[in-house]
Amino acid sequence: MSCAVARWPVPDAVERFSGGRGQPEQAVITVRIPTPEQIEMIECQNVLLEGATAEEVLAWAVETYYPRFSMATALGPEGCVIISMLAKIEPRVYVFNLDTGYQFHETLELRQRIAERYGVIVNLQRPDLGVEAYEAVHGGPLYKTDPDKCCFDRKVRVLERVAKNFDAWATGIRRDQSPTRANTPIVRWDKKFGLVKISPLATWTKNDVWRRILAEDIPYNPLHDQGYASIGCRPCTRAVSSGEDERAGRWTGTAKTECGLHTSNE
């Protein structure tokens, strides 16, 4: 199989209604839409990369999209592994963190250790309103009463803003993290944010990630040594017990399992 590279010219922007869970009715998102030929090329590339190593996937992404290639990270173990790879492949890739204002201080300290170790700056991308102003507008912390809207305002909206500057982004999601991530392709068109989404660790297991971290002494969040499996914002994350699902510590007591960044690609 041969695949032409799915480069842009970027398609015309379109306005698209964004409703549904966690997405306020009044929200209108402006996203790019690809041509059918571009979709076909992306799907073709996905097939070609299914058996590639994570480093090969990232090298392809850099070659194809850099400097309009970015990486989003919550500074979880997967993100730290990808940063260690990018440091060798192309350390100038724009890496960013959605800094909601509610993150653990351990997470922000890890950002500093990553910079010292790899020279890679994880740029903090923040919502327009700081935590104090945001809670004042909503009469208190919205994560207690409407976490979907809180995630939408403090993560999804911010990613929309960043995504407009790039043609592709990488994430650290893995197929074995949860049923909702089980079919994650290596490369796909991200309809929600209007750019190509690349998941170089999609085929990795949790053990693969930790083997790499330990083998290369990659910095990681010390909260993982205290039982935190998946780490998001402080108010919405707890440690998990042995045998619990990896993401069971996120939004405990609610039906919510995702923040909205990796859902709804239909």
**Amino acid letter for position 234:** R
The answer to the question of residue 154 lying near ligand SF4 (CB under 6 A) is yes
Please tell me the count of residues contacting ligand SF4 according to CB under 6 A.
13
C-alpha distance from residue 11 to each of 8, 35, 125, 159 (Å): 7, 7, 25, 19
> Which of 40, 48, 89, 102 contacts ligand SF4 by CB under 6 A?
102
Contact 122, 115 (CB under 8 A): yes
Contact 52, 186 (CB under 8 A): yes
> Which of 45, 97, 100, 199 contacts ligand SF4 by CB under 6 A?
100
**Amino acid letter for position 180:** T
259 is annotated as an active-site residue = yes
> Which of 76, 232, 240, 261 contacts ligand SF4 by CB under 6 A?
232
Q: Candidates 106-114, 180-188, 197-205, 231-239 — which segment interacts with ligand SF4 by CB under 6 A?
A: 231-239
DSSP-based three-state secondary structure for 74: coil
**Please, which residue, 75 or 93, has the CB nearer to ligand SF4?**
75
Q: How many CB atoms lie within 10 A of CB 116?
A: 9
**Please, which residue, 153 or 167, has the CB nearer to ligand SF4?**
153
**Please, which residue, 7 or 144, has the CB nearer to ligand SF4?**
144
**Please, which residue, 111 or 212, has the CB nearer to ligand SF4?**
111
The C-alpha angle 10, 12, 16, rounded to 5 degrees, equals 120
The answer to the question of residue 62 lying near ligand SF4 (CB under 6 A) is no
Q: How many CB atoms lie within 10 A of CB 47?
A: 13
Q: How far is CA 22 from the centre of its chain?
A: 17
**Please, which residue, 39 or 108, has the CB nearer to ligand SF4?**
108
- Each residue 72-91 as x (binds ligand SF4 by CB under 6 A) or -, in order, gives --------------------
* Nearest-approach distance from CB 127 to ligand SF4, in angstroms: 9
Q: Which among 80, 150, 236, 259 is annotated as catalytic? A: 259
Residues 164-203 that bind ligand SF4 (CB under 6 A): none
- Each residue 112-151 as x (binds ligand SF4 by CB under 6 A) or -, in order, gives -------------------------------x---x--xx
Can you point out the beta strands (E) in the chain? 13-17, 28-32, 69-72, 94-98, 122-125, 168-170, 187-190, 195-198
Q: Candidates 166-174, 175-183, 208-216, 227-235 — which segment interacts with ligand SF4 by CB under 6 A?
A: 227-235
**Element housing 178 (H / E):** none
* Nearest-approach distance from CB 99 to ligand SF4, in angstroms: 10
Say how far apart CA 183 and CA 209 lie, in whole Å.
19
DSSP-based three-state secondary structure for 85: helix
Say how far apart CA 181 and CA 171 lie, in whole Å.
12
Residues involved in catalysis: 259
